[in-house]
Structure 1
Amino acid sequence: MRRWISIIVLSIALVFTAFWGYRQFNDKELLIVQAENNYQRAFHDLTYHIDLLYDKIGTTLALNSKDTLSPQMIEIWTLSSQAQSDVSQLPLGLLPFTKTETFLADIGEFTYHVAIRDLDNEPLNDEEIDRLSSLYESANEIRKELRSVQHKVFSDGLKWVEVEMALAKNDRETPNHIIDGFTAVEDYTSGFDESHFDNLSADLPSQQDRFRYVDGDPITEKEVKELIMKQFDLTADLDIELQKSGDGAQLPTYSGGFTHEDERGYIEVTESGGHVLSYMINRDLGKAKISLHDAEKEAEKVLKQEGFEDVRRLKSSQYDETGLFQFAVTNDDVWIYPDRITVKVALDNGDIIGFNATDYYRNHHDREIKQPKLSFEEAKQFVSPSLNIEDQHLAIIEDKAGNEILTYAFFGTLNHDTYQIFIDADTGKEIFVELMHDVESKWG
């Protein structure tokens, strides 16, 4: 009898283990598929935007009317920004790609400054036309290389998650058409004559200057694993997958992953100083039980734990069972919008399931904040009288060209909507207007 009971118990345990293993495997496969879909979308968007960029620059060279030249330059600037956004969504952090990112930023910077000036009094000169011609040729080379990679992706069924794994393992021996293609693009843009952009603003931080305030002694893999165990309260026997960024990465980091009970965790830590850039916890979420207000308190707690004391909440949004909060650090009561941090909270129990301080570490630097020329009341006169102003504060934001500007941020209501308006604190110029959302609408 005992033998049969033991057999039954073992059988149940075997079935349970098989089910648990299948579920873990299935969850992992779903995450991989989701990541691959996001990578593929970003890559094909990048190829499309570079195609359009090439066409628009060519059209600009053929224009002879000042009235149509300025809007065309704005379109090129917009496309270069979209291309930069596409690149940032690809797993290229482990691959040297800073020259191409800088090249795209330079295109946007050049075209934006041309678009906003008075072309009647200051038309394009011969040197600037030569610059456009060089940009046109360069965009064509990049376009052809990306099209070649895209053809290989389609014909051979190449996967971006395999690129990510190859880069993380620093495997450059195994042929990979995606890595080879992007390396070719980087090699080409590395040879581009940077003197074309000598007259652009020198105050803007280049891509290579980013993260310059990430400090501290280099940490070892053992120290990273200890940090991860402490961060998530894990036991020492838990297996932690750890990968180090490859040579030439913009910021040397460690990427860690682990599975604990029904959760899958990911974290990125800087090699210098062991700063936590971001982490994410994937698990099934239950029905929302806590309010956004209570969730915000939980987000503030984790910010203090990570060493961020002087922060103010910029935005709060609810997406089904999660609350998403964006914070900015402050300096003498001035809100520094580029130095922002995002926290994601599960609304079923208040757990922190997402944290991202990459923007903070990328943009943070010592700033000399000057006194504004306009008072609050003077700046308020430049806000639409249709809005009922509820709150205001001084803020540093970035304009479309990436320049930091001291502004007054006004929060105003109109009907049932809330708007955020940024007014230049020196000139009264309206820099930016945004409609605020608290809860994501559900459609269908």
Structure 2
Amino acid sequence: MYKRLSIVMFPFLLLALIGASVWGYLEHQEKNTILIKAENQYQRAFHDLSFHVDKLHNELGNTLAVNSASEPSYRKGLVNVWRLTSQAQSEINQLPLSLLPFNKTQDFLANMANFSYRMSVRDMTKQPLNEEEIKTLNTLYDHSKDITTELRGVQDKVITNNLRWMDVEVALASQNEVHDNAIIDGFTLVDKKVSAYEELNWGPGNLSILSKNDGKLLSGEEMTVDKIKQKAVQFLGQSDTTNLKVVENGGAASEYQSFSVVVPASSGSENDIHMDFTKKGGHLIYYMKSRTVQDKKFELRQARDIANEFLDQHEYKSMSAVSYDQYQNTANIIFAKREKDVTIYPQQVSVKVALDNLEVTGIQATDYVFGDKPRNLGSPKISAQEARKTLSKNLDVSSESLAIIKNELDEEVLAHEFIGTMNGNLYRVYINAETGAEEKIENIRPEQAAAVKAAK
């Protein structure tokens, strides 16, 4: 009986063994194919990075060799520097360096890209490069030579010793702090060299990036946990602070310090209220009351009115709705500061309103709080009638007003804001009130068009 059973079962077992072997082989082949593909992508990104940094060094040298009176050549060189720097940043992001301290080099490249872009888009016939900017370009040329030399050294080791980037990924993912890997050592050395460079004068445009959301620039006194609790219950219209949970964020050396507040809901954590306040001044920058909105009973215009009234009752005064959106029966309305009939777009608050009962369920006010500063609005040098002449003849203008916006250099400028239709679409067009140049064009989505027209 057992003999007969074994004779019957043997072919099935043999087939199962062959099938398992084939399946294992195919899985191994597929895994190897994926690893080879990943390795090839890493190698391509690394060698492209080395090539583009080398080209960047040469392009900086070519730009410095240009006659100072040759504005088109300077612009072309700076555009190429910006393009090559952006490509180098992209290639760094494609490499498995997330666990490697390489942030100094990435910050350096980001600042270089921003610096060259700002120089290339401005009118050099009116504002040529000054001595400080030329000095910065010379320093960038010297530093890029150092980085190129180090990357070439790593590249030589990779080619000579057939080093693999997959080994780098494994080494970085391991728990060992000391990594015996030529690629890791090379990139670490590059970052150390960059961190040792003296701080460059990147110009005023970069300052806004580096100092954005600096809590030290805010007005008001330093808050404590107890004071934040009082701020929270005052905002919520309550008096009991016993169930509030407060956590302080950011160390003493951090530029951005805040308190996070959680108000537990009686029905469960799903409906907890979350709030964030700045440590200096105790300004509310975030509020969220999560809940499911089952149905829609009210319109966007009604939600806008409720949100506007809510902001006016708190510290966000003189706001005007500039953008509308709706998602899952919740209205998201963006308000901008209004001062002397001028809309200040850099100072915004986003408000969420539930369309079932018009309850304000969320606020995002970071831009408002950190953008609150004295502004000398002044008077436009170019009238609205003159600014209209630069618009397309096909644009049917429905409204015009003044606005403060941020231009391509991240600078605040006074502009004439025109809202009009063309080819069935609604547009916002901003014309610089000082120079008459077209600063920006925005397409207003169809679902927002009716609300925007009503607001204006």
Alignment TM-score, normalising by the size of structure 2: 0.63
> Does residue 231 of structure 1 match 2:235?
yes
Q: Which residue of 1 aligns with 2:335?
A: 327
Q: Which residue of 2 aligns with 1:170?
A: none
Q: Pick the aligned partner of 1:294 from 289, 293, 302.
A: 302
Q: Pick the aligned partner of 1:60 from 56, 78, 93.
A: 56
> Does residue 259 of structure 1 match 2:267?
no
Distance 1:186 1:133, change over 3 A: closer
Computing the radius of gyration from Cα coordinates, the structure with the larger value is 2
Say if 2:118 and 2:205, in contact at 8 Å, map to a contact too: no
Q: Pick the aligned partner of 2:218 from 214, 221, 226.
A: 214
Q: Which residue of 1 aligns with 2:115?
A: 110
Quick one: distance in 2 between partners of 1:370 and 1:188? Answer: 46
Quick one: distance in 2 between partners of 1:376 and 1:286? Answer: 46
Say if 1:204 and 1:403, in contact at 8 Å, map to a contact too: no
**C-alpha deviations, 1:26-71, integer Å up to 9, x for none?**
xxxxxxxxxxxxxxxxxxxxxxx99999875543334469586344
Quick one: distance in 2 between partners of 1:425 and 1:211? Answer: 32
Quick one: distance in 2 between partners of 1:52 and 1:391? Answer: 50
Q: Pick the aligned partner of 2:276 from 224, 247, 268.
A: 268
- C-alpha RMSD of matched pairs (Å): 4.4
Distance 1:427 1:246, change over 3 A: same
Q: Which residue of 2 aligns with 1:155?
A: 173
Q: Which residue of 2 aligns with 1:131?
A: 140
**C-alpha deviations, 1:104-139, integer Å up to 9, x for none?**
663244212332368999799686254145257679
Quick one: distance in 2 between partners of 1:351 and 1:106? Answer: 43
The one-letter amino acid paired with 2:344 is I
Say if 2:52 and 2:88, in contact at 8 Å, map to a contact too: no
Distance 1:135 1:334, change over 3 A: farther
Quick one: distance in 1 between partners of 2:232 and 2:134? Answer: 56
Say if 1:394 and 1:407, in contact at 8 Å, map to a contact too: yes
Moved more, 330-339 or 130-139: 130-139
* TM-superposed deviation, 1:410: 0.8
Q: Which residue of 1 aligns with 2:351?
A: 343
Quick one: distance in 1 between partners of 2:335 and 2:326? Answer: 15
Quick one: distance in 1 between partners of 2:336 and 2:49? Answer: 33
Distance 1:311 1:127, change over 3 A: closer
Larger RCO (CA within 8 A; separation ≥ 6): 1
Q: Secondary structure at the match of 1:248?
A: coil
Q: Which residue of 1 aligns with 2:405?
A: 397
Q: Secondary structure at the match of 1:195?
A: coil
Q: Secondary structure at the match of 1:371?
A: coil
Quick one: distance in 1 between partners of 2:316 and 2:305? Answer: 14
* TM-superposed deviation, 1:320: 2.9
Q: Secondary structure at the match of 2:247?
A: strand
Distance 1:155 1:186, change over 3 A: closer
Distance 1:370 1:353, change over 3 A: same
Quick one: distance in 2 between partners of 1:156 and 1:276? Answer: 41
Alignment TM-score, normalising by the size of structure 1: 0.65
Quick one: distance in 1 between partners of 2:170 and 2:260? Answer: 28
* TM-superposed deviation, 1:294: 0.9
**C-alpha deviations, 1:168-218, integer Å up to 9, x for none?**
xxxxxxxxxxxxxxxx99998764322353xx3489546347455522222
Aligned residues between the structures = 348
Q: 1:162-177 alignment to 2 at 5 Å?
A: none
Q: Secondary structure at the match of 1:402?
A: coil
Quick one: distance in 2 between partners of 1:58 and 1:351? Answer: 57
Q: Which residue of 2 aligns with 1:388?
A: 396
Distance 1:307 1:387, change over 3 A: same
Quick one: distance in 2 between partners of 1:77 and 1:366? Answer: 35
**C-alpha deviations, 1:235-268, integer Å up to 9, x for none?**
5442524233222222321112233124122211
Q: 1:242-253 alignment to 2 at 5 Å?
A: 242-253=247-258
Q: Which residue of 1 aligns with 2:30?
A: none
**C-alpha deviations, 1:310-366, integer Å up to 9, x for none?**
222221112232211111112221211111111122222222222111112222221
Quick one: distance in 2 between partners of 1:195 and 1:187? Answer: 16
